[in-house]
């Protein structure tokens, strides 16, 4: 199948905001006296805020009211951390890769479970860099459900089989496969056995045989 579009996850792929998510969950867990480490954090990659909270609170019982307050607390901490973002937060490698893909005629999109996607993209000056954005505001089911990538592909006007999905999350790779996309792994997702294409840095994608 000819590849015509590339759909990028945001947190942990385009930006290192995955570490801000970790810090914000860690701060909540510490306040509640609940153990939380990087390994557990990896299970939250690609997963919606409320589903992530359920994983953080595994083995503990809280009311729905408490849980909503915890999710809001985490998001407030996370948003404080997002204030550190500037256009310089986008690596040169990432900028050059996006430019080169566009130069070669590919359509590019964001497919993220995050409801903070547009805030983040505007902070780093990338809001208009993509041909389409699909995010946590557009979907009912977060990854590993393929919904967000299907929305992104539709907005690009492409079939899933003509699109690559770049992901740092196991849940995201699973979603890409379920939706019929070609999965490409970076970061934590490179530990995923079911992926053939793995990146050390974003520009590695330019070398793969599925691109022209």
Residues with catalytic roles:
9, 11
- Residue 11 near Mg ion by CB under 5 A: yes
Binding mask of the shown chain, residues 129 to 168, with x at each position contacting ligand BG6 by CB under 6 A: -------x--------------------------------
Only one of the segments 61-69, 108-116, 121-129, 178-186 lies at the binding site for ligand BG6 (rule: CB under 6 A); that segment is 108-116
- Residue 168 near Mg ion by CB under 5 A: yes
- Residue 40 near ligand BG6 by CB under 6 A: no
- Residue 113 near ligand BG6 by CB under 6 A: yes
Only one of the segments 58-66, 107-115, 181-189, 201-209 lies at the binding site for ligand BG6 (rule: CB under 6 A); that segment is 107-115
β-pair partners for 61: none
Distance CA 4, CA 160 (A): 10
Tokens read off for 95: 């900028």
Helix, strand or coil, per DSSP, at residue 116: coil
Only one of the segments 44-52, 92-100, 151-159, 184-192 lies at the binding site for ligand BG6 (rule: CB under 6 A); that segment is 44-52
Based on CB atoms, which residue is closest to ligand BG6, 162 or 172?
Answer: 172
Tokens read off for 146: 């393929």
Q: Using the CB atoms, write b or e for 36-65: b if 16+ within 10 Å.
A: beeebbbbbbbbbbeebbeebbeeeeeeee
Q: What angle do CA 188, 183, 6 make, to 5 degrees?
A: 110
Q: Which of 20, 28, 46, 164 binds ligand BG6 (CB under 6 A)?
A: 46
Our CA dihedral for 205, 89, 40, 51, rounded to 10 degrees, sits at -90
- Residue 11 near ligand BG6 by CB under 6 A: yes
The residues of the shown chain that bind ligand BG6, judged by CB under 6 A, are 10-11, 18, 21, 44-49, 52, 75, 112-116, 136, 169
């Amino acid at each position: 199948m000819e590849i015509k579009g590339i759909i990028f996850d945001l947190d942990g792929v385009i930006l290192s905001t995955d570490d801000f998510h970790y810090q914000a969950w860690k701060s909540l867990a510490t306040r509640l006296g609940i153990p939380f480490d990087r390994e557990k954090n990896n299970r939250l990659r690609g997963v919606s805020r409320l589903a992530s909270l359920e994983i953080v609170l595994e083995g503990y019982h809280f009311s729905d009211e408490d849980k909503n307050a915890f999710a809001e607390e985490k998001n407030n901490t996370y948003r404080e951390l997002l204030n550190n973002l500037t256009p310089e937060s986008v690596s040169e490698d990432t900028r050059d890769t996006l430019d080169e893909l566009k130069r070669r005629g590919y359509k590019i999109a964001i497919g993220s479970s995050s409801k903070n996607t547009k805030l983040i993209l505007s902070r780093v000056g990338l809001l208009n860099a993509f041909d389409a954005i699909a995010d946590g505001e557009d979907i009912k089911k977060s990854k590993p459900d393929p919904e967000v990538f299907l929305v992104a592909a539709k907005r690009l006007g492409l079939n899933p089989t003509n699109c690559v999905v770049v992901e740092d999350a196991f849940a995201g790779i699973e979603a890409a496969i379920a939706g019929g996309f070609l999965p490409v792994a970076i970061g934590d997702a490179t530990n995923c056995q079911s992926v053939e294409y793995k990146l050390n840095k974003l520009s590695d994608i330019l070398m793969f045989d599925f691109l022209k």
